[in-house]
Amino acid sequence: MASLNYKIVNVTDTGKRSILIIYTGGTFGMVQDESGALIPFNFGKAIDKIPLLRNLGLKLTVISFPIPIDSSNVGIEEWRDLAYIIEENYAQYEGFVILHGTDTMAYTASALSFMIQGLNKPIILTGAQMPIGLPRSDARENLIAALEIAASTKDRRPMVSEVCVYFNHLLLKGNRAQKIRSSTFAAFGSENYPALAEVGIEIEFNESALQPYDDKAKLKVVGDLNPNISLLRIFPGISKSAIEALITEKSIRGIILESYGSGNTMNFDWFLSLLKKATKEGKIILNVSQCMGGTVLQGKYETSKRLDEVGVLSGRDITTESALAKMMYVLGMDQKGNDLRRLLTTPLVGEMDD
């Protein structure tokens, strides 16, 4: 296990269900520097800025990354830290709320859904579009609702037992969520999967969409992710040399191909030959759509028919964020050939439809 780097910054002991809040940074706790730019701020006593937290009837512990970060700087190391922090604290808490910047929250939620297996407790990521210190900030509502969801039970079992994103009244499946807006409070959506809950006067859970609770689940954290992957987003007029640079690079083992519509690409011979050369060399290519909604159907159009032939795999309705995390996770395993391809095209944690 990596050496864990975090500190406890606050504890409220007002209730029975215990939730661990992990503050990583992001707009939620940011302040403005002299130039007016938002920078991460030490969360410190931010919990005191929300006195209401003491009335939730929860026992809250807040821990913080030693140096809070803008989530644009998140990478595999931070994902591992989060996974291992949760593993280390799993037995002591009934739920986990991660405060995270919105920019890469969907990537982190996807990665954690693959890395933290055998969950029977909730892990809810949330954040804010405006810092908590501002009067109209969405930080309070997001944090309070995320905590209530993390503490929710039914028949004395946690209502949620998976990695989710909570934002602006919606609870979304973590590996289906995407940041879709940068300037309104409704920052997240999951076009291909229904919301897991809607928060109004009541919290209305969509129970049939939730991962069923499994009391035999045994926690297992996987930290081996392979970073040697790339993302090829095609566009009209893209040059052969740009594509070559991305997919023929020796160190690259997996490529997410972001195609048009229902999985279409240009069907020029030079392009298909490059894809074929890459798959022949053992690189894995997964086809995901640039559209937020819908699915990849290789063969529906003439322009996607030959993708199967050159060894491109269909990512169906997976998001790009989730496909990247899944590729890193699957390539981190000791698997080859057909087993590797099967893992990529099979839903592992609800990230794609069957």
Q: Which is nearer to ligand ASP, 137 or 192 (CB)?
A: 137
Q: Whole-angstrom Cα distance, residue 332 to residue 128?
A: 32
Residues in Cβ contact with 234 at an 8 Å cutoff, skipping those fewer than 6 apart:
243, 257, 258, 259, 260, 265, 266
Q: Which is nearer to ligand ASP, 70 or 198 (CB)?
A: 70
Q: Which is nearer to ligand ASP, 14 or 184 (CB)?
A: 184
Contact 136, 104 (CB under 8 A): no
Amino acid at 321: E
Residues in Cβ contact with 121 at an 8 Å cutoff, skipping those fewer than 6 apart:
90, 93, 94, 95, 96, 158, 161
Least spacing, CB of residue 161 vs ligand ASP, in Å: 26
Least spacing, CB of residue 25 vs ligand ASP, in Å: 6
Q: Whole-angstrom Cα distance, residue 272 to residue 320?
A: 21
| Closest residue to ligand ASP in the complex (CB) | 101
Q: Whole-angstrom Cα distance, residue 177 to residue 202?
A: 22
Least spacing, CB of residue 242 vs ligand ASP, in Å: 28
DSSP secondary structure, 263-283, as one string = TB----HHHHHHHHHHHHTT-
Q: Which is nearer to ligand ASP, 28 or 205 (CB)?
A: 28
Least spacing, CB of residue 26 vs ligand ASP, in Å: 3
Give the pair of three-digit tokens for residue 16: 């029975």
Contact 245, 278 (CB under 8 A): no
Q: Which is nearer to ligand ASP, 27 or 319 (CB)?
A: 27
Least spacing, CB of residue 286 vs ligand ASP, in Å: 26
Residues that bind ligand ASP (CB under 6 A): 25-27, 70-72, 101-103, 127, 129
Least spacing, CB of residue 132 vs ligand ASP, in Å: 11
- H helix or E strand, kind and range, residue 324: helix 320-331
Q: Which is nearer to ligand ASP, 106 or 247 (CB)?
A: 106
Q: Which residue has the tokens 């992957």?
A: 229
Q: Which is nearer to ligand ASP, 188 or 329 (CB)?
A: 188
Least spacing, CB of residue 90 vs ligand ASP, in Å: 26
Q: What positions carry a catalytic annotation?
A: 27
Q: Whole-angstrom Cα distance, residue 213 to residue 121?
A: 9
Q: Whole-angstrom Cα distance, residue 287 to residue 232?
A: 10
DSSP secondary structure, 50-119, as one string = -GGGGGS-EEEEEEEEEEEE-GGG--HHHHHHHHHHHHHHGGG-SEEEEE--STTHHHHHHHHHHHEES-
